[in-house]
Amino acid sequence: MGTTDRSTSEAKRVLLGLTGGVAAYKAAELARLLISSGVEVQVVMTTSASRFIGTATLQALTGRPVFTELWDASVANNMAHIDLSRNVDVIFIAPASADFIAKVAHGLADDLLSTLCLARACPLLIAPAMNRQMWENPATQRNLDALHRDGVTVLGPAKGVQACGETGLGRMLEAHELAEAVHAFFQPKPLQDKRVLITAGPTFEAIDAVRGITNSSSGKMGYAAARAAAEAGADVVLISGPVCLEAPRIARLIKVTSAQDMLAAVKSEAPYADFFISVAAVADYRPKSASEHKTKKNDRNIMLELVPNPDILEYVANLPAPPFCIGFAAETQDLEENAEAKRRRKKLPLLAANLAQEAIGAEEVALTLFDDSGRHPLPKSSKIEQARHLIAHAVSLYDKWRNFNSCKK
């Protein structure tokens, strides 16, 4: 199926199709999330879906009439099944019931939504939602194989407690995961077949069994970089220090605590990476020795001897065949001078700099990218938007950097 040719700056248009399943309630939140992120949503529901959630709810959330009938006299040419599927960038069925999946797999068209799917000129995404036995049934799996072969993108399902009380595979993904997947679907894929290694969050250096020193870092920028790299088609490995963020489904997550743990994980992954994005706020020092037990307090001053931690980014950048390395610099003053000096000292083709006092824990950030051609300011925007710009910039430098580096060897 060809994609509709629309410029990326235009709002994307999604035809959201609901079929019969308890998870239909999540589709209301999905519609809301898509609309609040600038996507135009047109809802079409099957008769069974309208037993689970009212058309009025979706109409109010999307500000558009909800279509349910194949034979709709209000559509001037009575061809809702053609018109609706022509004016969208993607059809997204969420929830997709076992019955509806079977219909699409066999090309049946006995209601408005299945007819739209058959008549479409755009890609089709589905988010299955059903009881675990229905999911595991060989008939459903055969139908899913057919959909995969037809180029349909299947999102989920997740494993967990189901409405029927059983536990297993078949739960529809959560609304925010589906909204992210829709945005990811629309991103260009310049990193297909590339492996991206990312460090994120702070490290924690133990003093004793319950105390330690760390850096302020929410991990949000590193997790956004992981999401942006995955959206661009990369195979992503995310090595994360302790953060309070939900593990991204799109990346292989390796959890670490100290800088030494992080270095060990990076050492074993770096040889396979095409890009290394070092977002982690690695503690520069660690206590020389950590006590196994909790140190008892008393009234005397105590001395804590600190020793320097390894510089993980420097280690990777100095490998005999390093990946394309991207550093981050969080500075509190003289941002530009400090950032460019850091980029040169660490021999990086690209470095992103921000003001620590504005960036740590924030949802939005202003970034300046530094490369061999100079500085490239990115005005304040969400961390995922900035991460997408960063990935696009790295991709634009990659081929030249690789040719130059292979000449040097």
In terms of Cα–Cα distance, which of 235, 234, 276, 239 is closest to 254? 239
By CB under 6 A, tell whether 132 contacts ligand C5P. Answer: no
Based on the shown chain and the rule CB under 6 A, indicate whether residue 336 belongs to the binding site for ligand C5P: no
**Between the CA of residue 243 and those of 198, 214, 301, what are the distances in Å?**
15, 12, 31
CB of 309 to ligand C5P, least distance (A): 5
Quote the CA–CA distance of 234 and 192 in Å, as a whole number.
5
Q: In whole angstroms, what is the distance from residue 152 CA to residue 120 CA?
A: 12
Cβ 330 to ligand C5P shortest distance, Å: 7
Chosen residue from 140, 217, 309, 354 binding ligand C5P by CB under 6 A: 309
Interface size with ligand C5P, residues (CB under 6 A): 14
Marked catalytic residue, from 122, 164, 244, 325: 164
CA 334 to chain centre: 32
**Contact flag: residue 312 with ligand C5P (CB under 6 A):** yes
* Three-state DSSP class for residue 343: helix
* DSSP string computed for 117-146: HHT-SS-EEEEE---HHHHHSHHHHHHHHH
Q: Verify binding: residue 155, ligand C5P, rule CB under 6 A.
A: no
Q: How far is the CB of 342 from ligand C5P (least distance, A)?
A: 6
Q: Which of 380, 374, 368 is nearest to 331 (CA)?
A: 368
Identify which of residues 278 and 386 has a Cβ nearer to ligand C5P in the complex: 278
164 tagged catalytic: yes
- 342 binding ligand C5P? (CB under 6 A): yes
Minimal distance, residue 256 CB to ligand C5P, in Å: 12
First-to-final CA distance of the chain: 44
202 secondary structure, DSSP code: B
Query: Which residues make beta-bridge pairs with 254?
Result: 239
Task: Give the range of 55-63, 161-169, 234-242, 323-331 binding ligand C5P by CB under 6 A.
Answer: 323-331
Task: Using the rule CB under 6 A, give the single segment among 53-61, 129-137, 189-197, 306-314 that binds ligand C5P.
Answer: 306-314
Residue 327 interacts with ligand C5P (CB under 6 A): yes or no: yes
With binding defined as CB under 6 A, does residue 224 bind ligand C5P? no
**Footprint (CB under 6 A) of ligand C5P, residues 270-289:** 278, 280, 282, 284
- Please select the residue that binds ligand C5P; options are 191, 313, 317, 384, rule is CB under 6 A: 313
**Residues 363, 368: Cα–Cα separation, whole Å:** 17
- The DSSP code sequence of 265-300 is HHHHHGGG-SEEEE--B--SEEESS--SSPPPP-SS
Which residues are at the interface with ligand C5P (CB under 6 A)? 199, 259, 278, 280, 282, 284, 309, 311-313, 327-329, 342
List, by residue number, the catalytic residues.
Answer: 164
